[in-house]
Structure 1
C-alpha cells in the first residue's frame, strides 16, 4: 500500500457502546497497526438531541481499557513545529459544522443536489396514498418533478422561497438508469440499479448536515483510506459511492463487518439482550449497567473474543494477544455471515487468560477481596496469598472466584456441606480423625510431602481404605469435598489450624 493507511472509528456519543461498536474499533485498530497506519477517533455528534453528557469520555476510556488507543482524536494534543501542523482536526463533527455547507453548495452548483420544500404533512400524504395502492413511496427520479423542489419550480420561485426563509432540505439527485458497480473487501463485487435509490437528504435548513454528507466530507478531508464499519451501513454504500463520484474524489476502500448475532443465532445482538441474559455487552459500565471490567474480565480476554467474532485466523489457534492479532489480522479472513455471540465462550477466554497471569499479579487482585472480608493483614501477607492463588487458580474463571474456591485457607469452616457429611461421617470417623490428629501433632517437619507420607503409611498399616480417611479429613479442613491437593492445604494452613479444625468438627458433627 503506497498511501499511508488511515482508518477511523466514528461513534455517536449517545450512551453505552454496543459490543459490535467495540469490535469495529478493534478491527480498525488491528488493520491500521498491521499496515503501519493511523487509527482515528471521530465523534459524530451532529444529532445534538440524542447527545448524552459523559458519553465521549466513556468511549475514550473504553478504548484505552481495551488497549486500543487512538492516534488522533478529540483529546490528542496539537502537533506543533515545522511540518507537524494538525491538518485533520477538529475531531467532533459539531466543531466542524461550518465546513459542510460549502460542500452542499458545491453539489447544488454541479447539479448533483437540489432544494426541496416539501412539508412533512405533504410527504406523509404521498406515503399513505402509495400504501393505499399497494406501492412504496420513494422520493427519486420517477416523482421528483411532481414534488415541491427546485427541479420542478422555476429559478424565480425557488429564490423567492429561499429569500422568504421557507424551511428546506438539500437532497442528493440520484442518477437514473445507471448500473453502479461497488466493491467491498469482505463481500466482493456488488451491482446496484440506481433507479431503486431514493434522493437522500444531505443538508437541513438549520445549518446541520445529515450523517451521509458529514461522513463523506470528513472521511475525505481526514484522508481516510479504508472505511471499516458494521454491516448495517451496507445499504448506504451506494449513496456514499455516488457522493464520492459527484465530488470527483478518490473513494476509500470499504469493508462491512458481519453482524453479531444473539446466542440463539437468531437476530442481531442488542444491548438489551445482554442485560436480559445476564451477560454484559459493554466493555465498561455505563450508569447502572455492569460492564466487562466490573464483571472481572481481563481486557486481553475481551479483545481476544471480540477478534474471533467474525474473523477466522485460518488455523486452530484461539488464544491471541493484541500483538499476535496485529500480526495475523486481515480483512480477507473476515466472514460475510453473522457471528454468534456465546457468553460461555467469553468465560472460557477469561479462564484461559487468567491461567496465563502470574500468581503475584492475581494475588494482588485477590488481596483487595480479602481486605473486604476483613481477613487480617497478617493472614493475607503477599507470599501466602500468592501460594494460595497458585493452588486454586486453575479452577477459576474470574479473580472473584478465588474466595469461594479458597476461603478455607484464611478461615476455618463453620458449617459442613450436607451431602458429604451424610456420605462421609460414619460411627468410627471421630476416632479415625483423633488418630490422624496425633500424626499431625507429632510431625515436626510440617510440609506437604512429609504429611502425605506419614498419613498414607498409617492408613496402609491399619488396613483402612483411603476414602474412609481422606474424605472426612478434607471435609473437616475445608467444609466440603473440594479444593486442591489436601496435603498442600494442610501444610499451608499450619499444624495448629489443622488440629483446631479437626477438634471443632468432631464437636459439631459428633
Structure 2
C-alpha cells in the first residue's frame, strides 16, 4: 500500500481561514488514522499579498489546534529553481510554450468570443502545432508560459467526497503556468509540489474543483502519480453566504483570544462537514480512530456560533482546573487584574472549579473570577432592589459573626443558618443581598463556597458597604 501523505497548503495573504483550518484538520486526521505523514506547505507565490505576519499567524493557529506536521513549513518561493527545471523540460518536450499575447490582445479575443456567444477561452495564437507558423516574437514583450492542455477528451476522477466528477477538456484552455516575472502560478506549483512531496491524498475546499482538471492534466504530462482528491463543501455563514475572509470570518487565533479551548474548536470543526454516527463530543484520539475519509458531507455546512459555544462549554466543564486557571489568568490581565504565580497555582483553580459549570468561554470565566480579586462595583439598582432596610439588620449580624468564625465552608454555612433562624428569613432573602454586596450579582454558586473563596477580610469589608 502507498504510504499516506497529506498536506495543507495555505496562502499567507491573511489569517488562517476556518475553512482552511477544517481542511487541515481532515488532512491531519486522515494521515494519523492510516499511520501516514502530514506536510505543511506555505504557498507564497502571490508575492504582492504574502506577508510574514500571515505566516506567523498560520503557524500559531496550527500550533494552537494541535495539528502537528511531520514536514515543513515548506515555502514555494524557496523552490523557484525546481519549478524552472520542470518548466524548461516541459517546453523542450512540447508540453508547454511561450505566449507573447499582451493583456490587451487577450481582452480583445475574449470580448470577441463573448460577442459570438462562445466560451472566452484562450485562442491558441502561440500554441505550437505541426505545420503551424507562429507569429514573429514581438520586441519588448515578456512572455508567459502556457501549458498545452489536451484539446479533446474528458478529465474524470472519483472524488473522495463528491464521487465521480467529469469535466471536458473543451471547457478549459491552455493555463498560464509561469507569469511574466518568472513566478509560477498556483495550479502549476501545486502539482510540482504534490509530485515532489509524494502527496497521496489532497483534501481541499470545493472551490478548487474547477482547478482539478488542469492539475490532473499537468500530473499526466509530467508522468507523475495522481493523488486522490477530496473536495469538501464550503462553510456558510449566518447569512447563508460562503464564510470567507471577505465576509466577516475571523481568524482561528481570534477564537483563542475569545476564550475557546482548542479541543472544542477541533471537535466543532470536525463535525462541520463530517460525522461519526450521532457522536457530538469526542476526543482527538477518537477522531483519529474514526476518520477514514468516509462520512464526509456533500452539502455545505453552516457555521453556528451558538453550537460552538455549547461545545466549548462542555469542554470547559471537563477541563483540568489548573489548566483553566492559567488560561483565565491571561484573560484577567486584559481586565487589569494581575495575580501572583502562587495565587494562579493554588487559589484560582478553586475559583475555576466553582464557576466553570456556568461559563462557556474562559473570557466569561475570567469575568466571574475577577469578582474574587478586583474591587466590585455594585450596581445601584441591584443594591436598591436586594439590600433593603428589612434585611440590613441580618446582614449586620452576619458580618459580625463571620468576622470571628473559622473560615471554611462548613463554618460559614453554620453562621448563615444561625443568622437566618435568628431573623426569621429564608435563604434567598439573605443570600441574594449578600451576593450583591460581595460579588456584585444576586446569582452565584453556593453562597458558603463563594464567601470561602472570597476570603474573610474581603467579605467583611464588602458587607460593611450596606
- 2: CA distance between counterparts of 1:204 and 1:439? 82
- Preserved CA contact (<8 Å) 1:116 1:150: no
- Preserved CA contact (<8 Å) 1:297 1:398: yes
Superposition deviation, residue 34 in structure 1? 1.0
Name the residue aligned to 1:405.
Answer: 368
Name the residue aligned to 1:119.
Answer: 102
- Count of residues paired in the alignment: 465
Name the residue aligned to 1:391.
Answer: 354
- 2: CA distance between counterparts of 1:328 and 1:495? 51
Structure 2, unpaired ranges of 5+: none
Aligned residue among 190, 194, 202 for 2:169: 194
Name the residue aligned to 1:321.
Answer: 283
Name the residue aligned to 1:300.
Answer: 263
- 1: CA distance between counterparts of 2:62 and 2:38? 11
Work out whether 1:151 is the aligned partner of 2:126: no
Structure 1, unpaired ranges of 5+: 75-90, 276-280, 285-290, 506-510
Name the residue aligned to 1:78.
Answer: none
Superposition deviation, residue 35 in structure 1? 0.9
Partner-residue secondary structure (3-state), 1:504:
coil
Work out whether 1:459 is the aligned partner of 2:420: yes
The alignment yields a C-alpha RMSD, in angstroms, of 3.0
- Preserved CA contact (<8 Å) 2:329 2:366: no
Name the residue aligned to 1:37.
Answer: 36
- 1: CA distance between counterparts of 2:77 and 2:338? 52
Partner-residue secondary structure (3-state), 1:274:
coil
C-alpha deviations, 1:242-283, integer Å up to 9, x for none?
22233333211111121111123x2211224336xxxxx212
Work out whether 1:10 is the aligned partner of 2:9: yes
C-alpha deviations, 1:377-411, integer Å up to 9, x for none?
59947433222222112122233333432444335
- 1: CA distance between counterparts of 2:347 and 2:52? 45
Q: 1:461 to 1:427 in 2, by over 3 A?
A: closer
Q: 1:353 to 1:203 in 2, by over 3 A?
A: same
Taking the TM superposition and a 5 Å limit, the aligned residue runs for 1:347-358 are 347-358=309-320
C-alpha deviations, 1:49-90, integer Å up to 9, x for none?
33323433433332222211221114xxxxxxxxxxxxxxxx
Aligned residue among 127, 137, 141 for 1:161: 137
Which contiguous aligned blocks of 4+ residues in structure 1 show a shift greater than 6 angstroms? none
Taking the TM superposition and a 5 Å limit, the aligned residue runs for 1:438-477 are 438-441=400-403, 444-456=405-417, 459-460=420-421, 463-477=424-438
Partner-residue secondary structure (3-state), 2:317:
helix
- 2: CA distance between counterparts of 1:466 and 1:307? 45
**Which range moves more in the overlay, 252-261 or 427-436?**
427-436
**Which range moves more in the overlay, 486-495 or 190-199?**
486-495
Name the residue aligned to 1:274.
Answer: 248
Partner-residue secondary structure (3-state), 1:228:
strand
- 2: CA distance between counterparts of 1:71 and 1:148? 43
Superposition deviation, residue 233 in structure 1? 0.8
- Preserved CA contact (<8 Å) 1:406 1:483: no
- 1: CA distance between counterparts of 2:51 and 2:32? 31
- Preserved CA contact (<8 Å) 2:394 2:419: no
Partner-residue secondary structure (3-state), 1:73:
strand
- 2: CA distance between counterparts of 1:490 and 1:98? 68
Length-normalised TM-score, structure 1: 0.81
Bigger Cα Rg: 1
- Preserved CA contact (<8 Å) 1:44 1:92: yes
- Preserved CA contact (<8 Å) 2:191 2:215: yes
Name the residue aligned to 1:283.
Answer: 252
Name the residue aligned to 2:231.
Answer: 256
- 2: CA distance between counterparts of 1:205 and 1:416? 66
Q: 1:436 to 1:270 in 2, by over 3 A?
A: same
- Preserved CA contact (<8 Å) 2:45 2:186: yes
Q: 1:262 to 1:423 in 2, by over 3 A?
A: same
Aligned residue among 93, 96, 102 for 2:76: 93
- 2: CA distance between counterparts of 1:403 and 1:65? 20
- 2: CA distance between counterparts of 1:374 and 1:180? 61
Partner-residue secondary structure (3-state), 2:161:
coil
- 2: CA distance between counterparts of 1:375 and 1:42? 39
- 1: CA distance between counterparts of 2:342 and 2:141? 77
**Which range moves more in the overlay, 182-191 or 340-349?**
340-349
Partner-residue secondary structure (3-state), 2:158:
strand
Aligned residue among 415, 422, 428 for 2:390: 428
Length-normalised TM-score, structure 2: 0.88
